[in-house]
Structure 1
Amino acid sequence: MNDRLARATLTAIAEPGDTLMGRLIHAAGPTGALEAVRTTQPPEELTTNRQELKRLITRLESWRIKLSACDPAADLAIAERLNIRLVCPGEPEWPTTLDDLHHDRPYALWIRGSGDLRYTCLRSVAVVGSRAASAYGIRVASELASELAEQGWAVISGGAMGIDAAAHRGALAVDGPTVAVFANGVDVPYPACNDGLFTEMAARSLLVSESPPGVHPTRLRFLVRNRVIAALSRGTVVVEAARRSGALGTASWARKLGRVLMAVPGPVHSIASVGCHRLIREDATLVTCPAEVIEAVGRIGADLAPEPAAPVLPRDKLDQTTRAVLEAIPARGPTGPAQIAAKAGVDLPTVNGKLGLLSAAGFVERAPGGWRLTKTAKSRQ
């Protein structure tokens, strides 16, 4: 059996992210690991600790039982029929960032879609958050994703309801790249309400899973796939997360892997933003717009976010002398040109000329006893 077929088999018999299987593959290679499963005999280098040896033999026996019902050739045939491909470590499409997971690295990936996963993830950001998202969270996720995609950044998420789906749709809306990492086979639409989204992604972007076609999700697989989302991207943005949100698991993996961790603040009384606020208090970078995200994950000194500009008021466009004349007019009641000239430090002919200009612009008006500010000008102060 070659290594590809062995890896396809291992994805079918071992749960994703099983560190013991990762260590077994590292020690014996994929074909050696599969032989150890068949014989329930672990490699010698993994038998130094008695307690660990006992755990490994128990796991080998469990995998051996599953092996009897496994048909990797059929999985690969089904995959080919559905335009799903198997990508293994060391192959051109394999994202090398996944190697940072060491023994937690996927045994292989099943991919559906026309894009190249490795190339797509070179400039990528994970956008994650709560399934029970608020209207605020949905809007922020969608806007972040669409603007990031327009700037050439791929958006990675988990395909779930709420923030995940909003992020994928935001990227697709501008024909940008997006990647969904599944906790089930890439041919299984879960959640079913996102079936249309997944169909569109399969045609225009990428669906990724550690499990073979036909596999349904479990709670553990949702938690474990978060490490892949974090590892594929340069940084993770948590848009909205409650205290026990699964998105915080992705944030934890981003920290472990040395990726940039970012969080979007929300209303202080919002339960849906409690997790984000906790991340910000700890060590996450607060972000409010795509430019700040790109600054955090982009090239140092080259992708800086612009400083927020103060609003430009109509009086800001006035020249210095005209502004001095305007500011010499009291907020209440009229005043004469001579008093205005004395207060502004300008001669009377100049004041008369400037008052005419200010009147034409709607700042001042004639009144009994001189000039006064208009109601509009008062509201602009």
Structure 2
Amino acid sequence: MAVGPESATARPDDTAAGPGDEQLNRVFLTRVLEPGDETGGRWVRELGADAVVRRLRDRGEPLPGASAKRWAGLLARAAHAQPHRDLATAHDAGVRFVLPDTTEWPRQLDDLGDARPLGLWVRGTPDLRMWALRSVAVVGARACTAYGAHMATTLSAGLAERGWIVVSGGAYGVDGAAHRGALASGGATIAVLAGGVDRPYPRGHAGLIARIAEQGLVIGELPPGDHPTPHRFILRNRVIAALTRGTVVVEAAHRSGSLATARAARRLGRHTMGVPGPATSGLSAGVHALLRQDAVLVTDAAEVVELVGDMGDLAPEHKGPVLPRDLLDPAARHVLAALPAHRDAEPQEIARAAQTTPDDAIARLYELRALGYVERHGDGWKLTRQAMISVRDGHTAR
């Protein structure tokens, strides 16, 4: 259930939610509890949002598991929570609040248990649940290399062309390249922000995030106007991992925050994938560590879809170039390989090297002569220039 214009109008008493109003109660709690707060999530699950809000509003006894210090901090936040005003601000910005267990709620987020978001602020017109059903996360380093940006762009464009939704965090580097790749191919993308969706962060991506909101979705857990902090970026990553069928890490150093998304995906039973980079690149070291564990190596969109898609979505087999000698009969290839590289040889010598009879060797040699691979010199046979090139190219391909 999403908040509409009627419910977004501010009221005179704007300090707290009313009893029994699930929307307002959860909006109130987004101002009080940090994203991913499992203790707070347990309170909501066991007592209900209404009871938790009343305890905070009435400044009653601490809830189970809350120390006196923490309870004082929660009460201080609760004193400044204004859910009606948040909803009015969201409405003016074209933002709706989607509640758990409603039509638009992506059910896969329930896998987060008590760390499940209290709700999601959503900017954009598409249905979040429907889009999330066929989505893949593409994440990686903010300070990515040109290679990382290229791989994120082409991989995301390929996913979008195949009808998949690309999900990322809206940050500089790989995130931005992933969003742009999806948009450039006319596809769809979702940006999951670590702050209020009405205030794009980073500011340098304000135009990109506005474009995503026009063509796709911008979502987040924090109420309007709230700002991201370092730990909120890490907590945001669990939403990216839970929302999607799998996570692809393009570039990541050993301490990259994008690895937290991969680890969350692994814990949730989602597919974890990595794009390899140069062994000497520190920005690929984290990805390579993932690949040494249980992540799957991918190099293009087809390989990602083979992993996360439906049965039968197989990536084409990657092969080297087909050489003319590959089309020869196996017996003829053995005879061709038996000829010395720089001199002629008699049929008996060739037959021994090819492990066949002299008569069979002679028959194959005449076939090869007709195809331009060998030529006769008296009683001997020698490779032609064409054959020499073919043999050389065959060794290069291997």
> Same fold by TM-score, threshold 0.5 exceeded?
yes
Q: Given the alignment of the two structures, is residue 223 of structure 1 paired with residue 244 of structure 2, yes or no?
A: no
Aligned to 1:21: 40
Q: 1-side partners of 2:365 and 2:257: how far apart?
A: 67
Q: 1-side partners of 2:358 and 2:135: how far apart?
A: 59
Q: 2-side partners of 1:255 and 1:306: how far apart?
A: 26
Name the SS of the counterpart of 2:250 in structure 1. strand
Name the SS of the counterpart of 2:160 in structure 1. helix
Q: 2-side partners of 1:285 and 1:380: how far apart?
A: 32
Aligned to 1:380: 393
Cα distance, 1:313–1:93 mapped onto 2, change above 3 Å:
same
One-letter amino acid of the counterpart of residue 144, structure 1: L
- Deviation, 1:252, is 2.0
Q: Given the alignment of the two structures, is residue 314 of structure 1 paired with residue 324 of structure 2, yes or no?
A: yes
Residues 252-331 of structure 1: pairs in structure 2 closer than 5 A = 252-299=263-310, 301-318=311-328, 326-327=336-337, 330-331=340-341
From 93, 97, 113, the counterpart of 1:86: 97
Aligned to 2:248: 237
One-letter amino acid of the counterpart of residue 313, structure 2: D
Q: What is the TM-score of this pair, normalised by structure 1? A: 0.86
Cα distance, 1:253–1:346 mapped onto 2, change above 3 Å:
closer
Name the SS of the counterpart of 1:188 in structure 2. coil
Tell whether the 8 Å contact from 2:374 to 2:381 is kept in structure 1 after alignment: no
Cα distance, 1:344–1:12 mapped onto 2, change above 3 Å:
farther
From 186, 203, 227, the counterpart of 2:214: 203
One-letter amino acid of the counterpart of residue 345, structure 1: D
- Deviation, 1:230, is 0.8
Q: 1-side partners of 2:80 and 2:105: how far apart?
A: 28
Q: 1-side partners of 2:263 and 2:337: how far apart?
A: 55
Q: Given the alignment of the two structures, is residue 189 of structure 1 paired with residue 200 of structure 2, yes or no?
A: yes
- Give the gaps of 5 or more residues in structure 2: 1-17, 352-356
One-letter amino acid of the counterpart of residue 22, structure 1: G
One-letter amino acid of the counterpart of residue 53, structure 2: L
- Deviation, 1:305, is 3.5
Task: Tell me the alpha carbon deviations over residues 142-191 of structure 1, each in whole angstroms, 9 at most, x when there is no partner.
Answer: 22212122222211111111111111112112222211110111121211
From 23, 30, 43, the counterpart of 1:4: 23
Task: Tell me the alpha carbon deviations over residues 262-318 of structure 1, each in whole angstroms, 9 at most, x when there is no partner.
Answer: 22222222111111122222222232332332233233x533434433431122234
Name the SS of the counterpart of 1:345 in structure 2. helix
Q: 1-side partners of 2:290 and 2:347: how far apart?
A: 60
- Deviation, 1:334, is 5.5
Name the SS of the counterpart of 1:171 in structure 2. helix
Aligned to 2:354: none
Name the SS of the counterpart of 1:302 in structure 2. coil
Q: 2-side partners of 1:124 and 1:103: how far apart?
A: 23
Q: Given the alignment of the two structures, is residue 345 of structure 1 paired with residue 360 of structure 2, yes or no?
A: yes
Q: 2-side partners of 1:254 and 1:13: how far apart?
A: 27
Task: Tell me the alpha carbon deviations over residues 15-63 of structure 1, each in whole angstroms, 9 at most, x when there is no partner.
Answer: 22222221221122222211111123358xx54xxxx24x2x5434323
Aligned to 2:121: 110
- Deviation, 1:333, is 3.9
- Give the gaps of 5 or more residues in structure 1: none
Cα distance, 1:65–1:364 mapped onto 2, change above 3 Å:
same
Identity of aligned residues (%): 48
Taking only aligned residues, the RMSD between alpha carbons, in angstroms, comes to 2.8
Residues 43-192 of structure 1: pairs in structure 2 closer than 5 A = 47=64, 52-53=65-66, 55=67, 57-192=68-203
Name the SS of the counterpart of 2:110 in structure 1. helix
Cα distance, 1:377–1:344 mapped onto 2, change above 3 Å:
farther
Aligned to 2:55: 36
Tell whether the 8 Å contact from 1:113 to 1:204 is kept in structure 2 after alignment: yes
- Deviation, 1:85, is 0.8
Which range is displaced more, 9-18 or 327-336?
327-336
Tell whether the 8 Å contact from 1:87 to 1:108 is kept in structure 2 after alignment: yes
Q: 2-side partners of 1:211 and 1:73: how far apart?
A: 15
The number of residues matched between the two structures is 367
Cα distance, 1:34–1:267 mapped onto 2, change above 3 Å:
same
Q: 1-side partners of 2:186 and 2:391: how far apart?
A: 47
Task: Tell me the alpha carbon deviations over residues 326-377 of structure 1, each in whole angstroms, 9 at most, x when there is no partner.
Answer: 55654214679999899683667x966753542xxxx567999986421644
Q: 1-side partners of 2:382 and 2:309: how far apart?
A: 55
Q: What is the TM-score of this pair, normalised by structure 2? A: 0.82
Q: 2-side partners of 1:42 and 1:314: how far apart?
A: 83
One-letter amino acid of the counterpart of residue 266, structure 2: R
